[in-house]
Amino acid sequence: MSTTAVVPRSSKHGYRFLREFITQPFVIGAVAPSSKRLARKMVEGVDFTAANAIVEFGPGTGAFTTKILRRLSPSCRYFAIELNPTMADLWRERHPGRTLHQGSVEHVDQFCAREGIEQVDVIFSGLPWASFDDRLQEATLAASLRVLKPGGQLITFGYRVGTMLPKGRRFYRRLPKFFSRVERSEYVWRNIPPAFVVRCTK
Ligand SMILES: C[S@@+](CC[C@H](N)C(=O)[O-])C[C@H]1O[C@@H](n2cnc3c(N)ncnc32)[C@H](O)[C@@H]1O
């Protein structure tokens, strides 16, 4: 089975994404998959040629996955972690031959151990951090730091409304306690809703 094949996104993915949002709004955290522009912004500036291991958090139907896989070097290890079983099934349909662990990102270190990965260069996150309680934010950031190599990055995104919600505000305040550098991009307006990218360096 090919490991590079990607089944293109179709209206089915948008519809199922919305349906999952209605069922589990705080887990899904968005009404639609991220746009191609936001996906491009997420991977911008990442040195894929130097990366040995990349992990994706909360890939949903794979809005960022396609951009990541296209740039991945043949020797780079990659896997995704997705909590929602419907999203996991849709993702596996679109990315045959690629690995997705169904579970919670707070156990990323255990999933890495299972994959035989000791250090991760980049974590791409599609997670709805502003829906995560303090325990889950802390546990996930701590587990991420345990697997990231020195200088490794957690690259994530946020919505303006998320920065105004109490849990979202606490998340952005928490980042500098975990990472030595935190940089935020300008808004990507062509996304529903407009979003920005945050690059956190260990
Ligand atoms: C806002 S959606 C983003 C999906 C996709 N990355 C995108 O940008 O279109 C958030 C995704 O994170 C997943 N998720 C939420 N909490 C999670 C957790 N604790 N562990 C793993 N995935 C989680 C949701 O099921 C959902 O697929």
Q: Are 15 and 23 in contact (CB under 8 A)?
A: no
What CATH fold (topology level) applies to the domain 11-201?
Answer: Rossmann fold (3.40.50)
Residue 18 near ligand 1, beta carbon < 6 Å: no
Confidence band for 4, pLDDT divided at 50, 70 and 90: low
Among 84, 94, 109, 159, name the best residue to mutate to test ligand 1's pocket (greatest count of ligand atoms within 8 A of Cβ): 84
Q: Strands, E, within 1-147: which ranges?
A: 53-57, 77-82, 100-102, 120-125
- Report the C-alpha dihedral over residues 51, 46, 190, 183, rounded to 10 degrees: 120
Q: Which residue owns the Cα nearest ligand 1 atom 13?
A: 58
Bridging pattern class, strands 181-184 and 120-125: unpaired
Confidence band for 202, pLDDT divided at 50, 70 and 90: very high
The tens digit of pLDDT for each residue in 149-186 reads: 999 999 999 998 889 999 999 999 999 999 999 999 99
Residue 34 near ligand 1, beta carbon < 6 Å: yes
Q: Is the pLDDT of residue 1 over 50?
A: no
